[in-house]
Amino acid sequence: MSALFFSTISVALAEIGDKTQLLALLLATRFKKPAPIILAITIATLANHGLAAALGNYLNHLINPNNLSWIAAAGFILMGMWILIPDKLDDTPTKTQHWGAFLTTLVLFFLVEIGDKTQIATIVLATHYSATLQVITGTTVGMLLANVPVVVLGRFAADKLPLQWIRWVTALLFILLGTVTLLIS
């Protein structure tokens, strides 16, 4: 699978029910301004996943290539298992509301994404594929595929998605990629 395709699909599926998607829903219901929220999500994701992909690329050059395949495979398998654990949105600071929809979304989305499943997935994807720009583009598009409908449609979209089924399929994809990586290394 290409880096762009797998990055897009895996992050779009991993983001369903994730805390950043719950944050997007919260911000959409609070501000009721989809355009600045979507723009801020895009910029925050590009920045966050750009840093994550750069770290993955750095690790790719730092770690012995023989060990890197094993580490990437373990990362994919662990990511698959982690996805099965549903996220809950932690207490979100409400003091940021006076910043407006764009700045509040930009800051909160960037911060909440730190250490998140999709950021870790971006690091792992960047170590696995040598196409950093494709990984950043794919993970950003995946985030937007998962979050834009939530921002635009709000609560209706979140209530209608089969979250448990989506988690299982996504987990299976990551575990399958990890297994394939082990087999070819």
pLDDT digits (tens, 9 = 90+) for 92-136: 445 555 678 999 999 989 988 888 888 988 998 998 888 899 999
32: left (phi over 0), alpha (psi -120 to 50) or beta: left
Q: Which helix (H) or strand (E) holds 109?
A: helix 101-113
CA distances from 157 to 83, 138, 148 (A): 20, 22, 10
**What pLDDT score was predicted for residue 92?**
47
Among candidates 112, 119, 86, 92, which has minimal Cα distance to 31?
92
Among candidates 78, 83, 70, 81, which has minimal Cα distance to 127?
70
Helix 101-113 and helix 34-62: axis angle, to 10°?
Answer: 30
Query: Rounded to an integer, what distance in angstroms lies between the CA atom of residue 138 and that of residue 67?
Result: 25
Residues of the chain with pLDDT under 70: 1, 65, 68, 79, 83, 86-98, 155-163, 166-167, 170, 174, 185
Query: Rounded to an integer, what distance in angstroms lies between the CA atom of residue 52 and that of residue 34?
Result: 26
Domains of the chain, residue spans: 3-184
**What pLDDT score was predicted for residue 166?**
65
**What pLDDT score was predicted for residue 1?**
62
User: What are the two backbone dihedrals, phi and then psi, of residue 18, each rounded to the nearest 5 degrees?
Assistant: -75, 160
Among candidates 156, 177, 180, 174, which has minimal Cα distance to 80?
174
